[in-house]
Amino acid sequence: MASPELQMVLDMLKTMMPIRPELSIPEMRAQMDAATTAMPPPEDVAFTPVDAAGVPAEWTRAPGASRDHTVLYLHGGGYCIGSIKTHRQLCAAISRAAGASVLSIDYRLAPEHPFPAAVDDARAAYRWLLAQGAKPQNLAIAGDSAGGGLTVAALLALRDSGVALPAAGVCLSPWTDLTGSGESMTSKAHLDPMVQKEGLDKMAAAYVGEKNRRAPLASPLFASLRGLPPLLVQVGTSETLLDDSTRLAENCKRDGVEVTLEPWEDMIHVFQAFAFILPEGREAIDKIGAFLERNWGRL
């Protein structure tokens, strides 16, 4: 049974939900910015802007965070909204749990910058980390929602470019299928307060345009995943994107990729972002930290 705090989160979302198909993309961006203003990051965490090979980025370091271990973080928002600013609290929590530095990036957004701009920026930021002397065995890539799908796409792009891959990847409620073919897209629609097919289709059209939505770097569900590092996939059982996670995990096993799938009962889309209220969110982030600590240094 979910904690009582879940209802508090659901009540919050009734007034702050940014992804509504009747809104324009600029309106969605403003709504998301306004929503996260009410959730300021902790005061003891340092946020330092940096240019990562032309990609605007920010270091997030909780007290005691290692500078030798880094998570490259890719925010969610359907490839159209979201920013470093909207995900500071989540990045701070991951930095604290993992005892690591987090580099979050403002990859270019659609429709101004369609596919594959986001993949290119993620790949460039990872290469920048390597150029700064970071060791692949001490690196991870993580992201939520579209950023979770982008995490897998970035790993695929790096693999195909012959770049040394990081030790691990973390996907929080990843959007891996831009065609919306998962059964949960309809079967969970009545439970999901955040993500519905109409809104996803609008964002997929803005991101991919006339290109193939099944392209591996757009929808990594349809890619060969062979050779990727261990993945942690966390997803709520009350979200329309549930099947995007379960099918990704199945494909990892098919392709010989080590995967840890964590379905969280009754949880909603990217519930970890509400860890400041939600006990399950805090527990999930602690599991992210433990997963990273287990995998760093294994290469």
183 included as an active-site residue = no
Share above pLDDT 90 across residues of the chain, in percent, rounded to a whole number? 87
Ramachandran sector of residue 169 (left: φ over 0; alpha: ψ -120 to 50; beta: rest): beta
Residue in 95, 104, 184, 239 annotated catalytic: 239
Q: Which residues of 188-197 are buried (b: 16+ CB within 10 A; e: fewer)?
A: beeebbbbbb
Residue in 58, 101, 269, 280 annotated catalytic: 269
Can you give the residue ranges of every domain in the chain?
5-295
43 included as an active-site residue = no
Residue 299: its pLDDT value, please? 52
pLDDT, one tens digit per residue, over 194-238 is: 999 999 999 999 999 999 999 999 999 999 999 999 999 999 999
What is the fold, at CATH topology level, of the domain defined by 5-295? Rossmann fold (3.40.50)
How confident is the model over 255-277, as a mean pLDDT? Answer: 97
Neighbouring-strand partners of residue 170: 142, 232
113 included as an active-site residue = no
- Up-side HSE of residue 223: CA atoms within 13 Å toward CB? 29
Residue in 145, 184, 219, 238 annotated catalytic: 145
> Contact 223/215 with Cβ under 8 angstroms?
no
141/118 Cα distance (integer angstroms): 14
